[in-house]
Structure 1
Amino acid sequence: MTYSAHFRIWRGSAAGGSLQDFDVDVSEGEVVLDIVHRIQATQAPDLAVRWNCKAGKCGSCSAEVNGRPRLMCMTRMSVFTEDEAVTVTPLRAFPVLRDLVTDVSFNYTKAREVPSFAPPEGLAPGEFRMQQVDVDRSQEFRKCIECFLCQNVCHVIRDHEDNKPAFAGPRFFARLAELEMHPLDTVDRRKRSQEQHGIGMCNITKCCSEVCPEGIKITDNAIIPMKERVADRKYDPVRWLGARIGRRGDGGAEV
């Protein structure tokens, strides 16, 4: 079954732009990215759109569809009525390069600021031993496909450009939590999470968890536990003393 759908796609650059209208055929089972590709092929060959796997695993085709951040390859046309206009716009939290393509380099800058995993000295690969509960926790965070939808909906980044230097955002709070909760990691990331990555600026609205295509409970399982650990370190005198004497290993505690 085929029907004609009305699409409105944002066209432009950092200098400005506007929505452009397209009428396009839609077939049963198609997703928004299929239709964008059809518009490219038949009506707007210069339309810029980023995509790669078309299987919901690369995170490349993030956009806002009817105002909601989504992966275009995972948004079926069947969720819209046949007479409903479908509006596709670029992610609002990041600078537009052209049309639906945004500059997400902010996220890679933040990724480089997170210290890498640091196992105990002398522990060789293959000698790691972990409880299954710790494995499961790390695996949840590692499901992230870096679509940056969580970064896009975070109002601390989206609505306040001047916050970006001091705020890493939910994707990297999950990374910090993964490492901080790893039983073999020797770096204390609590002070860094607050003072360099700005976790205290998050007011746990859970909007990041709501848009995650992998269903990661970013707020409940990463941000809130990290906030609790930061508060314990800063205000609990017993924990503060434990950090001072390097309970996690020589040079491991950050004071």
Structure 2
Amino acid sequence: MGEQRNFRVWRGDDNGGQLEDFQVEVNDGEVVLDIIHRLQATQAPDLAVRWNCKAGKCGSCSMEINGKPRLGCMTRMSTFAPEETVTVTPLRTFPVIRDLVTDVSFNYQKARELPAFAPPADVAPGEYRMQQIDVERSQEFRKCIECFLCQNVCHVIRDHEDNKQAFSGPRFFIRAAELDMHPLDTRTDRKDAAVEEQGIGYCNITKCCTEVCPEHIKITDNAIIPMKERAVDRRYDPIAWLGSKIFRREQLDKPAGYATAGVATAPRPNAGTADTPVEQAAAHGAQGDISANWHREAAAGHAAPVGPDGKLPVTEFTGQLAGAQSPFGDDVEFPMPATDINYQHPNRPDEH
């Protein structure tokens, strides 16, 4: 015979509810979900709770226990003092359906918006080959059981209803990071999508998602921060920007009509024959539609000579070089007027 313990459980639906007190038997080794089931069997047969595996692998029994988001099946009663009242409430970020069951369909909608893995076209299933270090890097993120505790504690979702449409949340940031780090994924727009469609810029890395993860995934350190760094490097790093504008020999071997950064370029004349600096500069002129500005076409830049190995000499980086054009254009004055400043979620370029 176990001891009697004080339990407080939220009862209600989307129209409202309240906490109800119970005295319930607790035995050695039991978890909170066991006590919920005992309440259903003895005192509250209509108590609604979502659960499935009872082994910490399905993520169904997410709830808030004494104010902290946890899995009911993984929270042992021995962690609470005998005289302590254990309060069980539903996840407060998502709409309540009934009692401890919440509507988490928001997360499944965000999952549908995320582009799936895109394997190489010339590699058949069963022929994928990866280095073990790449397997281990992404395997951590695949441990996610979709309990949505990280989504529940994320203040961007929890406290700001207006952000939900423009913010995917930590569970899907790790999915995007996993695919972006995958050596066989052929999509090149995941970093842009993380900023423009998932709203990763709203995350201020408080690490609350990492604290509540039952699988101990380092969501912030291993996924969100690296993904933020990759997105910033791609968009704002002046070295990366300059590197993308310097003409390299390997670009000469691209087929006619090859698309760079989502912009289709004109066919290059005399493909494969531009071996001199003059010919290289002429070939580079065919790529003048890759603009240095967002709203105008830039003049073709000077193509620096490269060596037989296709690399630039060190002097090209240490010599006196002209400054890059402003991405805002020459007709924009600073500070920008308040009417031109937009704090809303950015749209994709093709929507302007």
Q: TM-score range by the shorter chain?
A: over 0.9
Per-residue deviation, 1:130: 1.1
1:140 aligned partner: 140
Runs of 4+ with deviation above 2 angstroms: 236-243, 249-255
Instruction: Give the secondary structure class of the aligned counterpart of 2:140.
Output: helix
Correspondence 1:183 to 2:207? no
Per-residue deviation, 1:101: 0.2
2:212 aligned partner: 211
Per-residue deviation, 1:107: 0.2
Instruction: Give the secondary structure class of the aligned counterpart of 2:10.
Output: strand
RMSD value, Cα? 2.1
Contact map agreement 1:191 1:254 (CA 8 A) in 2: no
Separation (CA, whole Å) in 2 of partners of 1:44 and 1:251: 63
Separation (CA, whole Å) in 1 of partners of 2:202 and 2:102: 25
Give the stretch that moved more between structures: 30-39 or 181-190: 181-190
1:155 aligned partner: 155
Instruction: Give the secondary structure class of the aligned counterpart of 2:240.
Output: helix
In the alignment, structure 1 segments of 5+ residues that lack a partner are none
Separation (CA, whole Å) in 2 of partners of 1:53 and 1:116: 27
Contact map agreement 1:90 1:102 (CA 8 A) in 2: yes
Separation (CA, whole Å) in 1 of partners of 2:8 and 2:117: 44
The code of the aligned residue for 1:221 comes to N
- TM-score with structure 1 length normalisation? 0.95
Separation (CA, whole Å) in 2 of partners of 1:242 and 1:216: 34
1:225 aligned partner: 226
Separation (CA, whole Å) in 2 of partners of 1:119 and 1:82: 54
1:72 aligned partner: 72
Give the stretch that moved more between structures: 57-66 or 232-241: 232-241
Contact map agreement 1:187 1:254 (CA 8 A) in 2: no
1:106 aligned partner: 106
Separation (CA, whole Å) in 1 of partners of 2:262 and 2:158: 31
Over residues 92-134 of structure 1, what are the superposed CA-to-partner deviations in whole Å (9 max), with x where a residue is unaligned?
Answer: 1100000000000000000001100011211111221211111
**Higher-Rg member (1/2):** 2
1:47 aligned partner: 47
Separation (CA, whole Å) in 1 of partners of 2:89 and 2:200: 29
Separation (CA, whole Å) in 2 of partners of 1:77 and 1:254: 55
Over residues 132-191 of structure 1, what are the superposed CA-to-partner deviations in whole Å (9 max), with x where a residue is unaligned?
Answer: 111001110000000000000000001111110000000000000000011111112011
The code of the aligned residue for 2:119 comes to P
The code of the aligned residue for 1:97 comes to I
Separation (CA, whole Å) in 1 of partners of 2:229 and 2:109: 26
Contact map agreement 1:7 1:24 (CA 8 A) in 2: yes
Q: In the superposition, relative to structure 1, how do residues 118 and 238 fare at CA in structure 2: closer, same or farther (>3 Å)?
A: farther
Higher relative contact order (CA 8 A, sep 6+): 1
Contact map agreement 1:4 1:24 (CA 8 A) in 2: yes
1:197 aligned partner: 198
Contact map agreement 1:186 1:252 (CA 8 A) in 2: no
In the alignment, structure 2 segments of 5+ residues that lack a partner are 264-352
Over residues 20-71 of structure 1, what are the superposed CA-to-partner deviations in whole Å (9 max), with x where a residue is unaligned?
Answer: 0110000000000000000011000000000000000000000000000000
Per-residue deviation, 1:242: 3.9
- TM-score with structure 2 length normalisation? 0.69
The code of the aligned residue for 2:203 comes to C
**What is the aligned length?**
254
Instruction: Give the secondary structure class of the aligned counterpart of 1:123.
Output: coil
Q: In the superposition, relative to structure 1, how do residues 70 and 251 fare at CA in structure 2: closer, same or farther (>3 Å)?
A: farther
1:31 aligned partner: 31
Instruction: Give the secondary structure class of the aligned counterpart of 1:23.
Output: strand
Instruction: Give the secondary structure class of the aligned counterpart of 1:118.
Output: coil
